[in-house]
Structure 1
Amino acid sequence: MQSMNFPLKYAARNVRRHLGRPIHLVLDWDGTMTTKDTMAVLGDLPKSTYLRKLHESREGPKPSRNGDQENESGKPTKRQTPLTAHGNESLSKANINRLDGYPGSQWNDLGTAYMKDYHAHKAAHYPKSDPVDHNEYVKWLDSLRPIEYASAQRAMSTSHFRGVRSSDVESHAKDAIETQKVTLREGCITLLLMSVSNCTDYVPPTGSKVSIISVNWSESFIRWALYHAVPEESQFNSDERTNLLKYISNMEIHTNEIDGLDRLEGSSGTLNGHIRTAKEKSHYLPPARKYCQDEQELPLMVYVGDSGTDYECLRNADVGIWLNDCGDGSVKERFRDTFQPLDVTEVTPFHVSEAKVLGQCGEKTWCLWARSLADVGDYLERLGEPQTTA
């Protein structure tokens, strides 16, 4: 079953947005492309592994080189009969909890340990003055690095993701989209389509692309979630849909990953990657034109993010867009809360609908503001129009 909210959101803005200039759009994942954090959903991934193992023990699957079943084409086969609460496929919550080694509430314990570390670190290292300037804020964000890496190490030491395969990640992502445990923001699909040819009258400007940078796990989960969120052909132009699915399959996604997903025995539980802080996110940011005056053929680099870990990317992009679905009257308060303890008293993030020129992003107003990804799409389309003088 396709998630019902997604086609409706696509249809609500069923006007194809066109880029009028080359733009490299870089998006955060959690809270930016999605309506909320997805870590809890990802933490429940081992459940899909154990469901798959139970199913295999009953069906006796033929293993393939990448640890999944194969059909005659050599591609991984999807589970034909889903596990339900009826008949021989009965699997209650009690049955799940009795599976050997099933993590149960382990992820909650890992989250509790993380928060304990975070609050202890904050008590000892949070800036003494409030607010602070740019340098002090960057220093504070970077100080969180040991906490983030300790959390990843804790997940590895408990072997939380041991045995997980690629097929488990796909089925888990598909289920998360269909049950709306993961919901993409309004305008997300339309925004991606701006960099995809429609096979008829629209070809994106040369150099235009979309990529993702996330401190979350995993690249595979993010890609499959996007793939399964694309509306069915009955509610979508078939050529656009085909091209978009191909685009999602090949787009750049920089994040951390569960190691060994394609092995027959699944992952060892090791977590790879070094994208866990605001500074580390910024290391994966593509070059911005404002820093490459001799390379003006570069596409304009636009970054969209919603939280403190996006700060350095927002500052270093040609155009940074802070995403928050607040009302006009609460923008300053939400902005201050997002980047606390940064001094934002002189920062007024213009809504993208009010941004007439690129010059409105400067040292003091270092980012714009959008309520939704649909707003971002409107703004990117307008960037191709002749710019007025401030």
Structure 2
Amino acid sequence: LILDWDGTLTKKDTLHLIGTIGTNALRSRGIDITRFHPQQDPDEPPWNTFGRLYMSDYAALQSQYKPTPEERRSVADEAAWLAALEPVELASMRRVEESGFLKGVMAEDVRREARRAVENGEVQLRREWERVFLEADLRTSVLRKGEKGILAKAIQDCRIDANEIEGLDDPQGASGKLSKSGALGIRTSRDKLRLLRCEQGVKNNLRRETNLVVYVGDSATDLECLLAADYGICMHDEP
């Protein structure tokens, strides 16, 4: 069983919490956060600026990409569009890394923000989510594009494939780099598909035909996995 994270296990996206972690960590050290803006705007939080610039790049690509959404008629067409988003993702990661916004963040900063977000209901998992992890003879993986922090330690029997803030456990804190910018980062639908293929390879090597690979996701970046799995389950809160 392979589960997407944001919008699948959780009720809504959680990526913004990375911005909160960075901002609170900097403020706790008495550092002026405006110095980390990729484009100076003292009235805009740094993480909001990163998001705005990402959406600007996304819109620019979408406006010139062919075929247009209305002209795309096949899975191959849609997969090609999703793959074309990789430069947009990489550019966004470079902005975050080069700004130094996450440099010096510690594992405890992540733990503290995770506790706060869960306690105040900012992060909510879907009702009866824990039943998924209690099923017998179930190999479970969770895929997410955001950073995994210490989530892997909380669910011992579940493998988590996710991007990470590098160096959280170093004495001096994180380097400011993101594993998402590396060759094995999870950035696009194609990256999620690569991990799904690995699970299918394990199943084939075990020669257990009764084993099934089930993928559960909610967004466009899950499309290829939903179609490639033995069973794809698409979750959506709206009709």
TM range (shorter): 0.7 to 0.9
Establish whether residue 308 from structure 1 lines up as the match of residue 220 from structure 2. yes
Q: TM-score, normalised by structure 1?
A: 0.54
Establish whether residue 264 from structure 1 lines up as the match of residue 176 from structure 2. no
1:280 maps to: 191
Residue from 321, 329, 333 that aligns with 2:233: 321
- Give the conservation status (yes or no) of the 8 Å contact 2:26–2:32: no
Taking a change above 3 Å as real, the CA distance of residues 296 and 249 of structure 1, as seen in their structure-2 partners, is closer
Question: How much does 1:173 deviate?
Answer: 0.7
Structure index of larger Rg: 1
Structure 1 residue runs without a partner (length 5+): 1-24, 54-98, 195-203, 228-247, 331-390
Establish whether residue 174 from structure 1 lines up as the match of residue 115 from structure 2. yes
Structure 2 residue runs without a partner (length 5+): 35-43
Taking a change above 3 Å as real, the CA distance of residues 313 and 264 of structure 1, as seen in their structure-2 partners, is same
- Give the conservation status (yes or no) of the 8 Å contact 2:33–2:46: no
> C-alpha separation between the residues in 1 aligned to 2:50 and 2:115?
25
SS at match of 1:287: helix
Residue from 35, 48, 51 that aligns with 1:108: 48
Opposite residue 2 of structure 2, the aligned amino acid is V
Opposite residue 161 of structure 1, the aligned amino acid is L
Establish whether residue 253 from structure 1 lines up as the match of residue 183 from structure 2. no
SS at match of 1:167: helix
1:210 maps to: 140
Taking a change above 3 Å as real, the CA distance of residues 126 and 222 of structure 1, as seen in their structure-2 partners, is farther
RMSD: 2.2
* Count of residue pairs brought into register by the alignment: 223
- Give the conservation status (yes or no) of the 8 Å contact 1:215–1:281: no
Establish whether residue 45 from structure 1 lines up as the match of residue 21 from structure 2. yes
Question: How much does 1:48 deviate?
Answer: 3.8
1:12 maps to: none
1:152 maps to: 93
Question: How much does 1:150 deviate?
Answer: 0.6
Taking a change above 3 Å as real, the CA distance of residues 249 and 161 of structure 1, as seen in their structure-2 partners, is farther
Residue from 74, 84, 89 that aligns with 1:133: 74
- Give the conservation status (yes or no) of the 8 Å contact 2:142–2:159: yes
> C-alpha separation between the residues in 1 aligned to 2:31 and 2:206?
60
> C-alpha separation between the residues in 2 aligned to 1:137 and 1:35?
26
Question: How much does 1:146 deviate?
Answer: 0.3
2:131 maps to: 190
Q: TM-score, normalised by structure 2?
A: 0.85
Q: Which runs of 4+ in 1 moved over 4 A?
A: none
Opposite residue 127 of structure 1, the aligned amino acid is P
Question: How much does 1:255 deviate?
Answer: 1.2
- Give the conservation status (yes or no) of the 8 Å contact 1:257–1:272: yes
2:149 maps to: 220
Opposite residue 49 of structure 1, the aligned amino acid is A
> C-alpha separation between the residues in 2 aligned to 1:254 and 1:298?
25
Question: How much does 1:189 deviate?
Answer: 1.4
Question: How much does 1:294 deviate?
Answer: 8.2
Question: How much does 1:126 deviate?
Answer: 4.5
> C-alpha separation between the residues in 1 aligned to 2:139 and 2:229?
15
Pick the structure with more helix per residue.
Answer: 2
> C-alpha separation between the residues in 1 aligned to 2:230 and 2:199?
9
Question: How much does 1:102 deviate?
Answer: 2.9
